[in-house]
Chain A
Amino acid sequence: MAQRLGSISRLLVGVWLAGVTIATFVIIPPYQGLGDAGRIVIVHVPTAWVAVIAFTISAVYSALYLRRRRLTDDAKATAAAEGGLIFTLLATLTGMVFSQVAWGVFWNWDPRQVTILVLLLIYAALFALRSAIDDPERRRRMAAVYSLFAFVTMPFLMFVAPRMAESTLHPNCAFIKGSDCNGITLQVGNVGLLGDQKVQLLGLEQQGDIVVAQVKVSTPGLESEAVLLPGYDLTTRSYTDRPTFPGQRFTLALEAVDLARGEARINMEAPGSGLLENQRTLWVFLASNIGFTLLFIWMFIVRSQVLSLEVQVVQRKVALA
């Protein structure tokens, strides 16, 4: 009976995810500014979301192992961490492809990219640690403690650090209302960072109601630089002209100007924000999140069974020897 229920559940997950995949390419309209590349978000965000769930489950079972010392808890903690590592890797790769299409570069050391890379390496080290200790009991105990410490960093790396950055190209504003994407305020002559681009406000020039800023932007390593001239309308209090960064797809916008103090708020804008305002996109996105979560549960159950059975086989072999 349980086996039949399992088979039906797996079939339903498969059908659900097949539906999500078809809907990704058939139901969702192309997003203005991104075109068909916006569809990557439907798999990118759920993979990151599932990684968070997986690392949380891993931490819970690690704590349970330290408390109860049951081998199945260790197997479940390992299975969840392994799933989390796979989904983090997929989130990184799909994010890189999105980055290439949306921003013109695979990797630009955006705060979000850096933090997920750090998280990936932290959890990869968990498996290196597990394989470096021969004594099984000590290995399980050390891994459980490490997993708990790794989990402490996860919320910071996934949610806090990227939002602490003054500027990120990652479209937080598309998903979470109230996210701070305000750019930076610079006085004339000052230098700041937008993403990985060094920007310097060289001057502000008023032409009637329009203020034009001279902003020097430099790519990482100062390999090339450009002077961009974004404009700002003092009457409508909005930008007039948004020049594009050299060789990339994001634009530079003036969002506020204070001529008396000689300062301006400048910001990077990238295509991708507001993607989920479309209802069809939003529903497919939610369905994808549910599907990926169910898929992870499937992977987690199978993998934890394998790990538990492996322990049993090893114990039996040792007893026989």
Chain B
Amino acid sequence: MSESTSAIYISMATVLLVWVTIAVYLMQVSSRLRSLKRDLNGGSPGNRPASGTVDAAPAVATEPPSVAADQWTWMAWYAALWYGCIDTLRLLDRSRRAPKVVGWRRNTRYQEEFV
């Protein structure tokens, strides 16, 4: 594959990454919105019509909501983000291509030497 062909595929993949990320986000959020509207429109058990289907009624919480589960999820995401960034950078740094110009050499002892 030529460099030009490769570049167009890279560009397309990058644009696709952006659209897929936004599409997934929008789909999830829209789905959640529909679900919430359905729950709210369903009404509480006291207001529910007698002829209404039991299965379609919203579940009623029996205890105050807690953010504990959400808290751990976000903390995990945050830790993963930190770790992911640092580890990716380390890997990328390691996989750098070898220099090709004349006069270079690997410097293991930090010598200041004219090559």
Q: Do A and B bind each other?
A: yes
Quick one: CB contact mask for A216-256 with B, threshold 8 Å, 1 for yes? 10111111111110000000000000011111000000000
Asked whether any CB of chain B lies closer than 8 Å to the CB of A277, the reply is no
Tell me whether B74 and A128 are in contact (CB under 8 A).
Answer: yes
Known: A36-B11, A40-B11, A314-B65. A124 touches B110 (CB 8 A): no
Tell me whether A299 and B22 are in contact (CB under 8 A).
Answer: yes
Closest to A220 in B: B93
Which residue of B32, B61, B75 is within 8 Å of A128 (Cβ)?
B75
Quick one: CB contact mask for A68-96 with B, threshold 8 Å, 1 for yes? 00000000000000000010011001100
Tell me whether A224 and B104 are in contact (CB under 8 A).
Answer: yes
Q: Which residues of A contact B33 (CB under 8 A)?
A: 302, 305-306, 309
Tell me whether A227 and B29 are in contact (CB under 8 A).
Answer: no
Tell me which of B4, B21, B29, B105 has the highest count of chain A C-beta atoms within 10 A of its own C-beta: B29
Q: Which residues of B contact A97 (CB under 8 A)?
A: 10, 13-14
**A314 and B59 alpha carbons, distance in the complex (Å):** 12
Asked whether any CB of chain B lies closer than 8 Å to the CB of A104, the reply is yes
Q: How far is the CB of A218 from chain B (nearest CB, A)?
A: 7
Asked whether any CB of chain B lies closer than 8 Å to the CB of A156, the reply is no
Asked whether any CB of chain B lies closer than 8 Å to the CB of A303, the reply is yes
Q: How far is the CB of B86 from chain A (nearest CB, A)?
A: 10
Q: Which residues of A contact B107 (CB under 8 A)?
A: 218, 222-225
Tell me whether B29 and A24 are in contact (CB under 8 A).
Answer: no
**A257 and B101 alpha carbons, distance in the complex (Å):** 24
Asked whether any CB of chain A lies closer than 8 Å to the CB of B54, the reply is no
Closest to A298 in B: B26
Asked whether any CB of chain B lies closer than 8 Å to the CB of A295, the reply is yes
Quick one: CB contact mask for A94-135 with B, threshold 8 Å, 1 for yes? 100110010011110000000001001100110110111110
Q: Is the interface of A mostly helix, strand, loop or mixed?
A: helix
Quick one: CB contact mask for B52-73 with A, threshold 8 Å, 1 for yes? 0000000011111111101111
Asked whether any CB of chain B lies closer than 8 Å to the CB of A35, the reply is yes
For chain A, the count of residues having a C-beta within 8 Å of the partner chain is 74
**A242 and B67 alpha carbons, distance in the complex (Å):** 58
Q: Which residues of A contact B82 (CB under 8 A)?
A: 121
- Which B residues from 1 to 49 make CB contacts under 8 A with A? 3-4, 7-8, 10-15, 17-19, 21-22, 25-26, 29-30, 32-33, 36-37, 39-40, 44-45
Asked whether any CB of chain B lies closer than 8 Å to the CB of A313, the reply is yes
Asked whether any CB of chain B lies closer than 8 Å to the CB of A67, the reply is no
Q: Which 4 A-B pairs have the closest CB atoms?
A: A246-B99, A317-B61, A131-B74, A226-B104
A sample of 17 more A-B contacts (CB under 8 A), given A131-B70, A318-B65, is A35-B8, A40-B14, A124-B78, A128-B74, A134-B67, A224-B105, A225-B104, A225-B115, A226-B99, A226-B101, A226-B103, A245-B101, A247-B98, A247-B99, A299-B29, A306-B32, A320-B60
Residues on B close to A: CB < 8 A? Answer: 3-4, 7-8, 10-15, 17-19, 21-22, 25-26, 29-30, 32-33, 36-37, 39-40, 44-45, 60-68, 70-75, 77-78, 81-82, 85, 88-89, 92-93, 96-107, 110, 114-115
